[in-house]
Copies of this chain bind each other. A is one copy, B any other.
């Protein structure tokens, strides 16, 4: 069986097509790795690449992309709506097939070490690779952003996991880590009252007492004039999609509000949705690995 790891590096460039083309070409040039997708956001001035490959190939690709980004992207000149601290801002490694999170943690450390040794870019290990609890959360690690990093790295608690207490002058600092596949999942409400979506999001997200593996915000969809609970499901096995949908329904009821639809943004592992089918169809004793036809076709 072929081991497959997904890697979703985020680069602080979303406007210069030449740089993006060069990064895409770099990704495609690594043996054993497939570039599935890449997309950019102009206002964020940021791009997300999605690669998949065997463990050695994916580690090589992550390094080479980071190397090229450090040559092409100058954070001292970067503006954009999205928080960022590095030319390669964050490199998550995600198990896809016959690979454990622990193996992805090992890959993240190998890449972090090499990025320091060969490129002089320091890094923080985050999510499941974190060396202490307060480094699990990317937002906490990135707080201060590129401009605040020189001072932050000198603080007692914020020595980088790899590298010296000194940012790379133009490429900054990178966060590297293993995590479960993330499903971006939104629930739309039949209200335009943002306060209701915010109140519901608060009851759902782990950080304020809700479901551990769910991050949630209330947002307003201005074009449709409806409020939305916008979520990142950071571990869909620990906190399944159906559970947050059902919980949002009963929280919404107190406001006389209903769920009118949901959205999956971007890619999702099949299992995140099949788990929901198992729940709602009440399937007994389903064996995902053996009973789903496609699982026999992936090498």
Contacts and interface: CB of A to CB of B under 8 A. Distances in A.
Interface residues of A, number: 43
A283 interface: yes
A297 B52 contact: yes
Q: How many copies does the complex hold?
A: 2
A270 B282 contact: no
A291 B269 contact: no
Interface stretch (A79-87, A200-208, A271-279): A271-279
Nearest to A181: B293
B264 A291 contact: yes
Interface string A61-88: 0000000000000000000000000000
Contacts of A298: 294, 297-298
Nearest to A4: B297
Nearest to A2: B297
Interface in A1-41: 4, 6, 34, 36-37
Interface in A252-299: 259-264, 266-270, 273-274, 276-278, 280-286, 291-294, 296-298
Interface of A: 4, 6, 34, 36-37, 52, 96-97, 181, 188, 241-242, 245, 259-264, 266-270, 273-274, 276-278, 280-286, 291-294, 296-298
17 contacts: A37-B296, A52-B297, A96-B297, A245-B282, A261-B283, A263-B284, A263-B285, A268-B291, A269-B293, A270-B270, A270-B292, A273-B274, A273-B277, A273-B292, A277-B277, A280-B280, A298-B298
